[in-house]
């Protein structure tokens, strides 16, 4: 399994695998509800829309699925490398994908049009997430940085350096802080100056999801 995410109501789980498929699971019973096939490579990113009605997945291509029927609604292409991060905006209207090609691309979730290309990372982008208000995007990369972007203009607002091996990143719902994870640490980061707000805590197991 290369990627996994809960539905917004917690009742289902989507998982992506190196067998090129996604599987939708009942979170209570563990039963497989459906298998989503169509990717030609390992599925390395997956996420639900905020209303739980759609699923996005990333491999060599980017697919948008109906979460009830399992039908593929759209297939997007444009990254030069495999997709490693995926997230819906809070209103479900946009999607951000990060890739091995060192870029992020912002897409219209309905039309499939590419709205913005965010360039600046020197290595693979492994994490991407919208702010709770949908106005900003955070990205994490193997170049040991986190970057904060304006989701409308694509401008890079801040670069937070010396943060090794970023595997995932998310926003605090109530405070101007970010949570970043690497294979051996979690980090709280204040957005005002990009500085750590809590000491790094070493983990016994890698943090990869």
Q: What are phi and psi of 6, to 5 degrees?
A: -80, 150
Residue 203: pLDDT band by 50, 70, 90 thresholds? Answer: very low
pLDDT(183) > 70: no
Annotate 106-141 with DSSP letters as a single string. EEETTT--EEEEE---SS-EEEEEE-TTSSEEEEEE
Q: What is the pTM of this model?
A: 0.83
Domain total in the chain: 1
Q: Which domain holds residue 74?
A: 3-166
Tell me, yes or no, whether 60 lies in a domain: yes
Helix, strand, or coil here: 32?
Answer: strand
Q: What pLDDT, on a 0 to 100 scale, did the predictor assign at position 191?
A: 66
Which has the closest alpha carbon to 61: 85, 46, 40?
40
Tell me, yes or no, whether 191 lies in a domain: no
Q: What pLDDT, on a 0 to 100 scale, did the predictor assign at position 146?
A: 85
pLDDT tens digit sequence for 125-172? 988 999 989 999 999 898 888 899 999 999 999 888 877 666 667 766
Tell me, yes or no, whether 58 lies in a domain: yes
pLDDT tens digit sequence for 42-71? 999 999 999 999 999 998 889 999 999 999
Tell me, yes or no, whether 55 lies in a domain: yes
| Cα–Cα–Cα angle for 185, 171, 114, rounded to 5 degrees | 110
Tell me, yes or no, whether 109 lies in a domain: yes
Tell me, yes or no, whether 186 lies in a domain: no
pLDDT(198) > 60: no
Element (H, E) at 78: none
Tell me, yes or no, whether 180 lies in a domain: no
* Domain harbouring 44, CATH code: 2.130.10.10
CA distance 209 to 195: 23
Tell me, yes or no, whether 46 lies in a domain: yes
pLDDT tens digit sequence for 72-126? 999 988 777 788 899 999 999 999 999 989 999 999 999 999 999 999 999 999 8
Q: What pLDDT, on a 0 to 100 scale, did the predictor assign at position 206?
A: 45
CA distance 121 to 118: 9
């Amino acid at each position: 399994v290369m990627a996994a995410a809960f539905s917004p109501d917690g009742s289902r789980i989507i998982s992506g695998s190196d067998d090129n498929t996604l599987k939708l699971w009942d979170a209570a019973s563990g039963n497989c509800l459906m298998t989503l096939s169509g990717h030609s490579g390992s599925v390395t990113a997956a996420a639900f829309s905020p209303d739980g009605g759609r699923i996005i997945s990333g491999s060599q291509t980017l697919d948008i699925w109906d979460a009830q029927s399992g039908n593929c609604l759209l297939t997007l292409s444009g990254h030069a490398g495999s997709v490693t991060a995926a997230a819906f905006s809070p209103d479900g209207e946009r999607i951000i994908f990060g890739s091995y090609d060192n870029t992020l691309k912002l897409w219209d979730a309905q039309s499939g049009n590419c709205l913005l290309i965010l360039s600046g990372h020197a290595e693979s982008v492994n994490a991407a997430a919208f702010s709770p208000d949908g106005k900003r995007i955070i990205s994490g990369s193997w170049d040991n940085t986190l970057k904060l972007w304006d989701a409308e203009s694509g401008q890079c607002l801040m670069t937070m350096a010396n943060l090794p091996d970023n595997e995932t990143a998310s926003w605090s719902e109530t405070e101007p802080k970010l949570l970043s994870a690497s294979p051996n640490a979690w980090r709280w980061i204040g957005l005002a100056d990009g500085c750590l707000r809590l000491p790094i805590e070493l983990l016994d197991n890698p943090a990869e999801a």
